Structure 1
Amino acid sequence: MKPSLTLLTLAIATGTTAGAKLAQTPQMGFNTWNSFKANYNESTINHITDLLLSLGLKDAGYNHLLLDEGWSDMSRTADGYLQSNQTTFPNGITPLAERVHSKGLKLGLYGDSGILTCGFRPGSWGYEERDALTLASWGVDYWKYDNCGGFQAMSNAPQERFSLMRDALERTGREIFYSVCEWGFQFPWHWGGGIGHSYRMSGDITASFINETGCPCKTAYCLNTGYAGCSVTSIMRKMREISVYQKPGHWLDMDMLEVGVGDMTVNMQKTHFAFWAALKSPLIIGADLRTLKNESLEVLTNRDIIALNQDSLGKPVHFVEDVSVEGSLQVWAGEVKGGNVVLIFNEKSYPQEVEVSLKDLGLGIERPVRAKELWSGKSWGKIDSVEASLGAYQTLVFRISR
């Protein structure tokens, strides 16, 4: 449906100014792609909306409901406007947004910077202004903007294509979170912060913790970034080089959470979640909430780990190479409000005894400090080193108080 002048005027009148500050902490929410691909409808989304509340996920901070590929029709209206899939969303997006908002959540949609989306639906190349106004008129709060289906548009640099939509969104006057999804091509940590509130730093994640086959590039600065199939540990490896580029207002997006997807052990899921949180990646659930196991729900709703992600300083942890052992033990550390955070990850498929001195982490710790291990919730009292037995792929997460 073509957005009316009244709706467009209302969107601008009720929106915030273009200079409003979004993304002061990384976004949290649920994305449809892992669970449904493009096969979902209005009833499905209403059910997921209700589950975000009943499972306690909204209360834990997951306040974005994001409709990935599949919400839109295969063609524009006769006069060139985006429209919802007439079979699966016959009532359009506005009533859906109103229901989502009534539950205290925000609604996100998916589009593309090329002529077509990844699923060969209409992209926004050449329609940026019109599509941005349409989103605003519908009451959309979040726009995930992909890099597929570029064809002719792919001859234009991503900086140009993604900037055009940024400008169009800002001109609507509505506060719309802009999630840039161009898979890490052309090293967006050097320029993406001036365009998106978050931006992908790698090819798509897979539900594998290790041993992927489709992500040949294991470093951030690699021309063959790999489109898809990157494991959790491969994406972590890439972040060693680029975590320093993050700050409030724009975040490196390590892709969706695979907690509750595939056959990861609990230790793997905890490690995955801890690193996405401490590295200040958006926390976007990909698991099917209808069948989510309690053990995975407990990982996703750990308030202490979430607090690392939402810490007001917005500083990601960094890899401490001097005390790590390649292929065996990873140690990461950083600053949070009121202290520090330390992650110790056993990269082996079997238990290991570890000993890590806090004074060797470059945090300025010269005497015993109070430490709480966040997965167990237990205080370790005052310590100057960590001596522990870590299970296969287990990560201990310590919050240090000065």
Structure 2
Amino acid sequence: MAKTGVSLVITICALIYPVHLLDNGLAQTPTMGWLHWERFLCNVDCVNDPHNCISEQLYMQMADIMVQEGWKEAGYEYVCIDDCWLAQERDAQDRLQPDPTRFPSGIKKLADYVHSKGLKLGIYQDVGNLTCAGYPGSHGYYDLDAETFADWGVDLLKFDGCNFGTLDILVEGYKNMSRALNATGRNILYSCEWPLYLWPFHQPNYTDIRQYCNHWRNYGDVYDSWQSVKSIIDWTAIHQNLIVPVAGPGGWNDPDMLVIGNYGLSWDQQVSQMAMWVIMAAPLLMSNDLRSIDPKSKMLLQNKHLIAISQDPLGRQGYRIGRVNSFDVWERPLSGGRYAFAVLNRQEIGGPRQFPLLLATLPSWKTCHPECRVTQILPSYQDLGVQNLFSTLKLTINPSGTILFTVTLNEGLAAEQKWNWNRNMNKKRKTPNSVF
């Protein structure tokens, strides 16, 4: 066939079968919320453990606390159900249904309750015949399930990849559910695990994945342990040349849940997970018990300076720029010509160690030419003042701990100085009738 004929056929097919890529306007900054899985797993025993089982009561309580305890105000907006909410069978019309004992009011009523708090509801399903826990999956029912979620008022879908059969079914299933969600007319954030299930077979096509998903899991489930958190950080650094360029407003690499406030991480390791998830522009989906979280962990998760970096409108994912003497140095560009840096102490023996950081050695060295302002955010907030290109910051970092700081470009510093000068001049000119 002539080349023009091929082009004509492609054009006609595109008109008959238009490609509907994800276009929901969501996740312009990394998603923030709460997800049940790591902390509560598949606990369906509401007789012996009613306080912790997967039931409508659990999500209503979390929604209440998110409003009452400042989580919503801090930016956490999604209350997300993971696996094990389903009944063992679909209903007579082949629609999904929740377990009638644990969700007696139904998902629509639960969504209405969450929405009444000014929050959003997330739900879980699977691309295959069964979910990972063995409940009915979405294969063969993508359109119907998407319509069901929209009818219920669901705001986020976490779409897992267990029991998918063939790789073609896996890939087409993720695409089909994306199209089905679009077709409902309701904006439902689409959280995929597509690349996670492709990696054992071949390198995923991340350009393709970004076209269909709002964020995507690349690596295995996070556990409540430092070894697990470290392995995720390391995987991200090893593959950063592949995955960092595709991240940005509307689509993010998802390293999995924050386990801060649970049992497995020391305080320094909690600081490190929060710092690294912020540097990696990761979705901040907590999996913990907000009903009993300790005040220190709560303070860390609600830290406004960290959340401002996480939600920076430039939407650039950070990356590792160096590893020396068991220290990892990460950099994330921010809006306004600013940068965030994290220095992680990989050593897990001995005591605190000093890391002398010469600002002139940073890839973004122009940040401090001729001067810049340095502000430490973690492990505690501290203004480190105005520095120059040849300043050396002597950072003391605990084993498995992290220091995170921001650097404001000289242009930003000049603007700040100009603002302060104007402010002082206005004070001098102030009259009794002034509104200032």
TM-score (ref. length: structure 1)? 0.86
Partner of 2:105: 91
Q: Give the superposition deviation at 1:396.
A: 1.0
Looking at structure 1, the residues matched to 171 and 353 of structure 2 have their Cα atoms a distance apart, in angstroms, of 45
Normalized per residue, the structure richer in helix is 2
Confirm whether residue 176 of structure 1 aligns to residue 200 of structure 2: no
Partner of 1:141: 155
Confirm whether residue 111 of structure 1 aligns to residue 114 of structure 2: no
What is the letter of the counterpart of residue 214 of structure 2?
Answer: H
SS at the partner of 2:183? helix
- Higher mean C-alpha displacement, 96-105 vs 244-253: 244-253
RMSD between aligned alpha carbons?
Answer: 1.6
Of the three residues 222, 225, 238, the one matched with 2:235 is 238
Of the three residues 371, 375, 382, the one matched with 1:372 is 375
- Higher mean C-alpha displacement, 181-190 vs 168-177: 181-190
**Residues 110 and 145, structure 1, Cα contact 8 Å, conserved in 2:** yes
SS at the partner of 1:290? coil
Per-residue CA distance 1:42-70 (angstroms, 9 max, x = gap):
22221111111122111111100000012
Per-residue CA distance 1:289-330 (angstroms, 9 max, x = gap):
122111111111111111111000001111112xx216x101
Confirm whether residue 37 of structure 1 aligns to residue 37 of structure 2: no
Of the three residues 385, 399, 407, the one matched with 1:400 is 407
The runs of 5 or more residues in structure 2 that have no matched partner are: 1-20, 44-53, 410-436
**Residues 343 and 395, structure 1, Cα contact 8 Å, conserved in 2:** yes
Partner of 1:191: 208
Per-residue CA distance 1:353-372 (angstroms, 9 max, x = gap):
11111221211233331011
Partner of 1:348: 347
Greater radius of gyration (CA): 2
Looking at structure 2, the residues matched to 196 and 252 of structure 1 have their Cα atoms a distance apart, in angstroms, of 10
Per-residue CA distance 1:329-372 (angstroms, 9 max, x = gap):
01111211121111111111231111111221211233331011
Looking at structure 1, the residues matched to 197 and 311 of structure 2 have their Cα atoms a distance apart, in angstroms, of 23
What is the letter of the counterpart of residue 189 of structure 2?
Answer: F
Looking at structure 1, the residues matched to 329 and 377 of structure 2 have their Cα atoms a distance apart, in angstroms, of 16
- Give 4+ residue runs of structure 1 displaced > 6 Å after superposition: none
Partner of 1:163: 175
Looking at structure 2, the residues matched to 136 and 191 of structure 1 have their Cα atoms a distance apart, in angstroms, of 25
- Map 1:228-377 to 2 at 5 A: 231-240=228-237, 241-242=239-240, 243-321=244-322, 324-325=323-324, 328-338=326-336, 339-349=338-348, 350-363=351-364, 364-365=366-367, 366-375=369-378, 376-377=380-381
What is the letter of the counterpart of residue 369 of structure 1?
Answer: C
**Residues 110 and 143, structure 1, Cα contact 8 Å, conserved in 2:** yes
Q: Give the superposition deviation at 1:158.
A: 3.0
**Residues 197 and 250, structure 1, Cα contact 8 Å, conserved in 2:** yes
**Residues 31 and 285, structure 1, Cα contact 8 Å, conserved in 2:** yes
What is the letter of the counterpart of residue 192 of structure 2?
Answer: V
What is the letter of the counterpart of residue 331 of structure 2?
Answer: A
Looking at structure 2, the residues matched to 155 and 314 of structure 1 have their Cα atoms a distance apart, in angstroms, of 31
Looking at structure 2, the residues matched to 341 and 192 of structure 1 have their Cα atoms a distance apart, in angstroms, of 27
What is the letter of the counterpart of residue 159 of structure 1?
Answer: V
Q: How many residues align?
A: 361
1:261–1:185 distance in 2 versus 1, CA, 3 Å: farther
Per-residue CA distance 1:256-315 (angstroms, 9 max, x = gap):
111112231111101101110110110000111122111111111111111111000001
1:184–1:301 distance in 2 versus 1, CA, 3 Å: farther
**Residues 115 and 122, structure 1, Cα contact 8 Å, conserved in 2:** yes
Residue identity over aligned pairs, in percent, reads 33
TM-score (ref. length: structure 2)? 0.80
Confirm whether residue 206 of structure 1 aligns to residue 223 of structure 2: yes
Looking at structure 1, the residues matched to 99 and 302 of structure 2 have their Cα atoms a distance apart, in angstroms, of 33
Looking at structure 1, the residues matched to 160 and 76 of structure 2 have their Cα atoms a distance apart, in angstroms, of 22
The runs of 5 or more residues in structure 1 that have no matched partner are: 1-16, 211-230
